[in-house]
């Protein structure tokens, strides 16, 4: 029912299946509950948020949830490829999730434009395949890539209510350093790149990025009234200029 006309089936086959389980319920587009009581967070994708505590749903949040329900409607059995980190701070299992016939749930949703590809080390399995799935949706202006309310926001326009997952554009006006991180200051947002994650950026000196324009994706949070976002992997950054 939610298949996109002309969209080839995404193919990001599992490297292995660590466990098989039965679906109890779908919380939202990227998290499910199993009949054994475990909650599972899908790795590699973030879908629009359902509204909570009186907040409205983000656009396409219910479509993402409905698509996930639809993918698992025929056989509620799922295969789990557990990510290296295993669980998150909410005690949810972190896993690549597959239908009974071996289809990647994350890849299917990404290719339909019902979420964004995310990469959070060390859970980097199927990185290139998920990236291709998202690119197909983006090039076709499907789903989240064609929703004005979900479009990238200029850093200077974030305002005081910044929070949650977002795409932000801006120019790096200053690069600071500390013992554990590099701090990339845009006008209205500071990007934090931990030194522990620098290896994913090919050990590039972030100070060379001063003056460059970019689009970053990730979770925005506030510290002392200042909007911040953690950069953990190059997937989170799209350079908007041609400088090498």
24 and 139 part of one domain: yes
Query: 70-84, 155-169, 177-191: which range is least confident on average?
Result: 155-169
Cα–Cα dist 43/117, whole Å: 9
Q: Say if residue 143's pLDDT is above 50.
A: yes
131 and 234 part of one domain: no
Expressed as residue numbers, the domain containing 221 is 152-239
Structure tokens at 117: 């590809």
Number of domains the chain contains: 2
Last residue of a domain, one of 106, 127, 146: 146
pLDDT mean over 27-49: 97
Q: Say if residue 7's pLDDT is above 60.
A: no
The percentage of the chain sitting over the pLDDT mark of 90, rounded to a whole number, equals: 86
Cα–Cα dist 154/157, whole Å: 5
Residue 86 lies in a domain: yes
CATH number at residue 187: 2.40.50.140
Last residue of a domain, one of 112, 146, 180: 146
User: What does the mean pLDDT of the chain come to?
Assistant: 92
Q: Say if residue 2's pLDDT is above 60.
A: no
124 and 197 part of one domain: no
158 and 217 part of one domain: yes
Of 68, 47, 27, nearest to 134 (Cα)? 47
Residue 6 lies in a domain: no
pLDDT mean over 166-184: 97
HSE of 57, CA atoms in CB hemisphere, 13 A:
12
Which pLDDT belongs to residue 161?
Answer: 62
Give the position of tokens 């557990």. 82
Report pTM. Answer: 0.91
How many angstroms from the chain centroid is the CA of residue 226?
22
104 and 165 part of one domain: no
Instruction: Work out the pLDDT band at 122, boundaries 50, 70, 90.
Output: very high
Q: What is the pLDDT of residues 39-84, one digit of tens each?
A: 999 999 999 999 888 889 999 999 999 999 999 998 899 999 999 9
Last residue of a domain, one of 146, 180, 203: 146
136 and 167 part of one domain: no
CB count within 10 Å of CB 216 equals 22
Residue 8 lies in a domain: no
Q: What is the pLDDT of residues 9-20, one digit of tens each?
A: 457 999 999 999
């Amino acid at each position: 029912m939610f298949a996109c006309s002309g969209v080839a089936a995404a193919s990001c086959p599992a490297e292995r299946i660590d466990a098989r389980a039965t679906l109890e319920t779908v919380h939202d587009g990227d998290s499910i509950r199993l009949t054994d009581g475990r909650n599972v967070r899908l790795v590699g994708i973030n879908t629009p948020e359902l509204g909570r505590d009186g907040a409205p749903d983000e656009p396409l949040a219910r479509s993402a949830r409905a698509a996930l329900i639809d993918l698992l409607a025929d056989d509620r059995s799922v295969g789990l490829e557990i990510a290296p980190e295993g669980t998150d701070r909410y005690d949810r299992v972190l896993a690549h999730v597959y239908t009974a016939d071996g289809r990647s749930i994350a890849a299917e949703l990404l290719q339909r434009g019902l979420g964004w590809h995310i990469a959070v080390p060390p859970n980097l399995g199927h990185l290139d395949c998920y990236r291709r799935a998202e690119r197909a949706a983006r090039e076709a202006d499907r789903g989240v890539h064609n929703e004005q309310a979900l479009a990238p926001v200029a850093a200077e326009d974030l305002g005081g209510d910044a929070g949650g997952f977002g795409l932000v554009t801006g120019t790096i006006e200053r690069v600071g350093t500390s013992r554990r991180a590099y701090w990339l200051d845009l006008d209205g947002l500071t990007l934090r790149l931990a030194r522990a994650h620098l290896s994913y950026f090919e050990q590039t000196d972030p100070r060379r990025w001063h003056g460059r324009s970019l689009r970053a994706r990730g979770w925005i949070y506030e510290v002392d009234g200042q909007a911040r976002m953690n950069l953990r992997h190059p997937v989170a950054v799209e350079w908007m200029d041609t400088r090498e």
